[in-house]
Structure 1
Amino acid sequence: MKLFNRMPAEVREAVTPPDRVLTYADGPDGYVIATDRALYIRGTRLPWFRVDRGLWDEEGLTVVTTSGEEHRALLPEPGRVPEAVRERVTASIVVSQYAPLDARGGVRLVARRTDDDRTVWEFVFDSGMDPEDPGLRALAEQALEEARRSFGV
C-alpha cells in the first residue's frame, strides 16, 4: 500500500469522497485505483457490488460488471491492485447459492452488500437460458424467496 503523502495528486483528485484509497497502479491508460468502496478504471467509478470479476493477464486488467460490461486497462506493473480487486469483490458478496430450475439448468442467486449497507440480489442464469423467459423468472423468484428465508437476508 502506498503512503498517502506519496500518493500522486492525480490519484487523490480522481477519488470521490468518502472513498478511501487502498492501492493504485499506473499504466499507459492512466491510474487504476482501488478504494474501500469502488474501483476507478479509465475514468469510471465501479462500486464493488457492481463488479462481477476481474480478469488478469500479462498486459493488464479486464473488469466485468454484473451487467456484463467490460472495462480494460493496461497495467504492466499492477502492484497490489489484483489482490485488492479480489478481496473487495469477495467482501461484497453476502450470499452466492446455485438453484436448479428445470431440465435446462439453473440460476446462481447472488446477494451483494452496497456502499450504503443495503443488500441487492441478482440472478445469474446458466448459459443458454433466457433470463427474459417468464416461466424461468418465476422459478428464479421462487428460489430467491427460499434463499432469503434460509439466509435471513
Structure 2
Amino acid sequence: MFGFRRLPREVRTALALEPGERVVSHARAAGDGHVVATTHALHLPGGLRLPWHLMDRAVWDEEGLTITMTDGAVHAVRLPEPGLLPETIRERVTATIVASHRVPLDPGGGVRLVARRVPGYDTPRWEFIFDPGLDPEDPGLRALAEQALEEMRRSLGV
C-alpha cells in the first residue's frame, strides 16, 4: 500500500532493539543492507546504532544520507529510494530537542547549548556543540560555555 514494503524478517531480527523500541520506517541501502528508523535510534547497515538524541544534523542529497553526530563523527549511506526516512529522521531528531541556543564565545566562533530528551531519563541532558575550528577541550572556552549554560538555565528556571 502506497509503495510501503515490509522490512524483511531477517533484517528485523538482526536489529539490537531495546525494550519498547519499535520500527517506524526503513529503506534499502545501495548495495546491501537496510537503514531502519526506530522509536529510539537509526540503525545503519553493519549494525551501527545512532541514537536520536546524539544526532546533530542529517543532510540529504542525490547520493543519500549524511549524518553528523554531536561528537563530530560523520556517517554516510547511499539510499536510492529513501521512502519515509527523511521525514522520520527530521521528526525524531527534532522531538529530542527541548532547548537550543547559540552563544558567541570569542571572535573565532561560539557554542550551541542544547538540551535533549534521552529515553529512560526524566530530565534533559545538556550538551555543548562548539563551532568548527574551536577546541572543545580548551579550558577557557569550556569555562565560558559553562557560564553561558548556567545563565541560560537560570533564565529558563531549570
TM-score by length of 1: 0.88
Aligned to 1:26: 28
Structure 1 CA distance, aligned partners of 2:7 and 2:22?
A: 12
Pick from 90, 93, 99: which aligns with 1:95?
Answer: 99
Equivalent residue of 2:49, what SS? strand
Of residues 57, 69, 88 in structure 2, which corresponds to 1:84?
88
Q: Output the CA distance in 2 between the equivalents of 1:29 and 1:62.
A: 17
Give the direction of change, closer, same or farther, for the CA distance of 1:139–1:125 in structure 2 (3 Å limit).
same
- Aligned-residue sequence identity (percent) comes to 58
Q: Which has the larger strand fraction?
A: 1
Q: Give the distance between the partners of 1:12 and 1:129, measured in 2 at CA.
A: 41
Q: How many residues align?
A: 151
For residue 16 of structure 1, what is the aligned residue in structure 2? Answer: 17
Asked if residue 128 in structure 1 is aligned to residue 133 in structure 2, the reply is yes
1:52 has 2:61 as partner:
no
AA matched with 2:145? A
Unaligned runs of 5+ in 2: none
Quote the offset at 1:19 in angstroms.
1.1
Residue 74 of structure 2 aligns with which residue?
A: 70
> For residues 110 and 60 of structure 2, what CA distance do their matches in structure 1 show?
28
Contiguous gaps of at least 5 residues in structure 1: none
Q: RMSD between aligned alpha carbons?
A: 1.9
Supply the distance in 1 between the matched residues of 2:100 and 2:130 (Cα, whole angstroms): 13
Structure 1 residues 11-32: Cα deviation after superposition (integer angstroms, max 9, x where no partner): 3212513211110001224110
Deviation beyond 6 Å, 4+ runs, structure 1: none
